[in-house]
Amino acid sequence: MMLGGHSTGPDRFGTPILAVSEVSGLICDLLDDARLHQVWVRGEVTNYKDHTSGHRYFSLSERNGRNSALINCVMWRTSASALGFAPKDGMDVLAWGSVEVYEPHGRYQLIVREMLPAGLGERHLMVERWKQELDAEGLFAPERKRPIPLFPHRVGVVTSPTGAAVQDILSVIDRRYPVEVVLSPTAVQGDGAHIEIAEAIRRIDGLVDVIIVGRGGGSFEDLFPFNHPDVVRAVAACRTPVISAVGHEVDTALCDFAADLRAPTPSAAAERAVPERREVLGELSGYEERMRSLLLHRLAASASEVEDLAGRMHPRRLTRRIHERMQRLVEHEDLLRRAALARVQRDRFALAEVRAHIVGKNPLAILDRGYCIVESGGSVVRSAGELHLKDRVVLLMKDGRCSAVVEEITYDRDL
């Protein structure tokens, strides 16, 4: 027995008794498996209903011999509004979404967020695989992007020679900044188009300053060649900067990620490939005006300097300045002469003092006053105690010398 929607416990054999809500909860837990979320499911549309609310209700079925499988699906109005085709019973489709359970009814169903016809869906999946592979190769890395040259001399265009895209590009370039345009023609849709596009890119690489690769708008099938790895790798391998312009603004292709710049349309690509002539002329005019202003200012400053120099070089001023300089020179000469004479006088006085000092210290100077010097044995006799009777001595006088014999020695103490 169940009360209030809760289990009443195990039966008499010990087996748990679950409420319906508990079973639904267990189913929800089981359906939380990541393998049932954000998955692609392929099947045949059956029981399709387009509700007035905008929601779509249908089933996807699969028949395999005698066995068959079926899963209920719902596509809410917000997702259904983006469908690019009208689903019908019997149509083979690819649906993308998550498996969830509707607890009140205990039913599981696929909540579909995107749906494509099977063939187109497989191509979408193929593009997604290519995108992952090419990204892993580093072909979409931001650091690979190169700047577009500001003033190209030649613009290369890889597109159909008969499409509207090439005419739009030529018209924009001719209007904005006429330069040489080199067309590398190629098919842009259909079987084998990716081979032609890749070859057209390689053919023009290195011959121009920038390359525009693209085409006008179209369906996913029409734009499919620009997703092909051959085209993406050719764009990535270019030595020349590449602008990708595939389809309209809402369209994207894998070559957009490999290009150095993506433009929403071929016309926009042409605008990004060349500058606006009027803007360039306006900038040049501004530069010219600034150069003229700087030149006039420089000329005015030079004229003022010349005028000042001319005033300084006037004959009267020049003569007066020469006389002033000559007067200063004479004054300097007088100062130098006086300074030199004073120096000479000081040196003479100093020399006289030195001479007098030397003369005063000369032992021969006393001879002029009547003194003489006594030598004995080649040495000057300084004391009477150095002499002995009968010693022969030499007497040095101011104008000669003579010999003598000591006959008597008298000491001061004996006086």
What average pLDDT values come out for the chain (415 residues) when binned by 10 residues? 46 66 69 77 89 91 77 92 85 87 76 83 80 94 94 96 93 93 94 94 96 90 91 96 90 93 94 90 84 88 81 70 82 84 84 79 73 86 86 87 88 66
Distance between CA 19 and CA 414 in Å, rounded?
165
pLDDT value for 5: 45
**Contact yes or no for 296/272 (Cβ under 8 A):** no
CA distances from 37 to 98, 99, 110, 360 (A): 4, 6, 9, 130
pLDDT tens, position by position, 388-401: 888 898 988 888 88
Instruction: Provide the pLDDT for residue 289.
Output: 85
pLDDT at site 9: 57
Token pair, residue 229, equals 């790895």
Token readout for 247 is: 């389809």
Structural domains of the chain in order of their starting residue, each with its CATH number: 20-117 (2.40.50.140), 137-275 (3.40.50.261), 365-414 (no CATH)
How many other β-carbons are positioned within 10 Å of the β-carbon of residue 163?
A: 17
pLDDT of residue 138: 94
Radius of gyration of the chain from its Cα atoms, rounded to whole angstroms: 59
CB of 406 closer than 8 Å to CB of 390: yes
Look-up of token digits 């070859």: 199
The phi, psi pair for 252, rounded to 5°, reads -135, 150
Q: End-to-end alpha-carbon separation of the chain, Å?
A: 173
pLDDT for residue 235: 97
Q: Is 10 helix (H, G, I), strand (E, B) or coil?
A: coil
Q: Which residues contact 211 (CB under 8 A, 6 or more apart)?
A: 155, 156, 157, 158, 201, 204, 205, 238, 240, 241, 242, 243
